[in-house]
Amino acid sequence: MTTISNDLLTTMNTRKSGSGSTAADAQDRFMTLLITQMKSQDPLNPMDNAQVTSQLAQLSTVTGIDKLNSTMESMISNVQSSQTYQASNMIGRYVLTKGDSLTLTESKSYLGINLPVGADKVTVTIKDSAGNQMRQLTLGKQEAGVLPLSWDGYKDDGSKAADGNYKFEVTATTANTSVTATPLSYDQVMSVSNSSSGIKLNLGKLDSIGIDDVVEVF
């Protein structure tokens, strides 16, 4: 197995001031190093053909790695650009994502539930900012999956709740055994940003979320 020398790696990876390292630059530096080695060799013990061939093989290996890295960087950039373009199509759309908040506007509000398994009974309890119960919705038996819901703003006593922000809790049971149910908040996608942690959807009222955090799109 041929081992790439430290001198070669140093020469190939050294960057010129003010510009990035390219395959052509790397080859020029390698040839300069190789010629210097040949000029400085011991006349009584010169490099043989096998040594020269080995050096050239190392050049091919490192140059190939450099080209592969450039290709991968280009592919990643193209994928990110494509994902950003696709995500931009979601601007103006509404999504359900993990969260327990809802906004009542003109007596209309939307929310959701994600059930990993079916449940015999599902209950949604809507509360104000002080923790007071506004309305309890008893949904009965539900299949596994995402369940979009709406609240018309009516409270348990029949009066109308004021427009504003509320919280809600979800409980689900099957045969008197508790079932995990994830509350889902409803919000509009206002813009898309490409951050170091990936593409983010910036929502109107909630925090920014990743593409994978979207449970359902409307």
| Res 150: pLDDT | 96
pLDDT tens track of the chain, all 218 residues? 444 455 555 554 555 445 455 556 666 766 676 666 666 655 555 555 566 566 666 666 656 666 666 766 766 565 556 667 678 889 999 999 999 999 999 999 999 999 999 999 999 999 999 999 999 999 989 999 999 999 999 999 999 999 999 999 999 999 989 999 999 999 999 999 887 778 899 999 999 999 899 999 99
Other C-beta atoms lying within 10 Å of the C-beta of residue 12: 23
Give Cα 26 distance to the centre of its chain: 35
**Rounded (10°) angle between helices 49-88 and 23-39:** 160
Task: Please state the pTM of the whole predicted model.
Answer: 0.65
Distance CA 174, CA 169 (A): 17
pLDDT of residue 156: 97
CATH class of 94-217: mainly beta
Q: Element (H or E) spanning 145, and its range?
A: strand 145-151
User: DSSP secondary structure string, 59-113?
Assistant: HHHHHHHHHHHHHHHHHHHHHHHHHHHHHHTTTT-EEEEE-SEEEEBTTBEEEEE
Give exposure, 34-50, as e/b (b: 16+ Cβ within 10 Å).
beeeeeeeeeeeeeeee
Domain layout of the chain by residue ranges: 6-13+22-39+49-88, 94-217
Q: What is the CA radius of gyration of the chain?
A: 31
Which pLDDT value is given to residue 196?
A: 77
pLDDT value of residue 157: 96
Give the CA distances from residue 95 to residues 92, 123, 184, 191, 210, in Å, rounded to whole numbers and listed in that order. Answer: 10, 22, 9, 13, 12
DSSP 41: S
